[in-house]
Amino acid sequence: MNLPERDLENLLRQAPQPKPPRDLKARLLAQAPASLSRTAADFSAVAAASTEGGPQSRGGLDGSGLAGWLRRWWLSLIPAAGALACAGVIGIQQTEIRALRATIETLKQQGSPTESGPANSDSKQTNTAAPTAAESPEDQEIARLRQTAGQLQAEIAQLTQLRAENNKLREQIASQTAKSGLTREETEAMSQARERVANIQCVNNLKQFGLATKVWALDNGDTLPPNIIVMSNELSTPKILVCPADKSHTAVSSWGSFTAANVTYEYLTPLAKDDEPNRVLSRCPIHGTIGLVDGSVQMGAMTNHPDWFQEKDGKLYYLPPGDNNLNSRGQK
């Protein structure tokens, strides 16, 4: 007989449910092994305690219950803790970035130039050249270096002019020598021309020497070099250290063979500060020509005007008439 499924389900629900014997649990425990008996007993005790209630009997999340919970879920808690730490770091970084952006915007607003109409090139040059009270020490140092560079360029131009005059005199002497049958006056004139060539060459040498000391001082805290050999990079050749009229010293072309016997000029300001323009830097014992700390050269000053020199505290100064101070930090 085919019954509908619903009727079959109702018949199964109405089936008799026999009750188990009262001693079924005891007989099952007696038949089970000892280890299973202890486990079943413990399970029964825990179930009973949880049924009775109370935080200590149920375990909850304290004591062994918390330790068990942590043992079960610690692998899941580690990624969650890492994610929370990363979120905190990212939040701090975002806060710092916003603060930096606000600072940059403030600085841009403070440092932006005011809008004005176009100015001509003359006014721009005047504003650039004129110093203002708001200039920083770096700007003042740059202006000073530019001024010094301009002075050095002017001195280089003078050296070039002296070299051209020297070459012209050499050509004149060579042309006079090529002539035969020179008179006495021509011979004397040629001798004077030779002396003038040597004197101009001496001035040219001292100019180059002073320029080298200036360049060295710019790279070393405005302090003049301690000796000549440390300026080998600034001096073009050691030949300029020998006066052309000096017969007792030999000029060399290589620094590798340079010694104290290859120098005519006297260097008087080792390790001095480059702030005393009237102080004598170098001198030629043959022509009496001197070079000053400011880079200028006075031809024959020691021979023609020995009374224009003054010595103070072991320092030699050149003071022509009308210049009564030493130009060195207010010394008189």
Q: What are the structural domain ranges in the chain?
A: 140-318
Which positions of the chain have pLDDT values less than 70? 1-6, 8, 15, 32-65, 111-134, 174, 176-182, 323-332
User: What pLDDT does residue 88 have?
Assistant: 83
User: What pLDDT does residue 168 have?
Assistant: 84
User: What pLDDT does residue 58 have?
Assistant: 45
Looking at this protein, which amino acid is placed at residue 215?
V
User: What pLDDT does residue 310 have?
Assistant: 93
User: What pLDDT does residue 268 have?
Assistant: 95
- The tens digit of pLDDT for each residue in 109-127 reads 775 544 444 444 444 444 4
User: What pLDDT does residue 36 have?
Assistant: 55
One-letter-per-residue 3-state SS of the chain: CCCCHHHHHHHHHCCCCCCCCCCHHHHHHHHCCHHHHHHHHHHHHHHHHHHHCCHHHHCCCCCHHHHHHHHHHHHHHHHHHHHHHHHHHHHHHHHHHHHHHHHHHHHHHHHCCCCCCCCCHHHHHHHHHCCCCCCCHHHHHHHHHHHHHHHHHHHHHHHHHHHHHHHHHHHHHHHHHHCCCCCHHHHHHHHHHHHHHHHHHHHHHHHHHHHHHHHHHHCCCCECCCCCHHHCCCCCCHHHHCCCCCCCCCCCCCHHHCCHHHCCCEECCCCCECCCCCEEEEECCCCCCEEECCCCEECCHHHHCHHHEEEECCEEEECCCCCCCCCCCCCC
pTM: predicted TM-score of the whole model, two decimal places: 0.47
Give CA–CA dist 133/111, Å, rounded. 17
User: What pLDDT does residue 19 have?
Assistant: 75
Query: Residue 166 contacts by C-beta under 8 Å, 6 or more apart in sequence?
Result: 197, 200, 201, 204
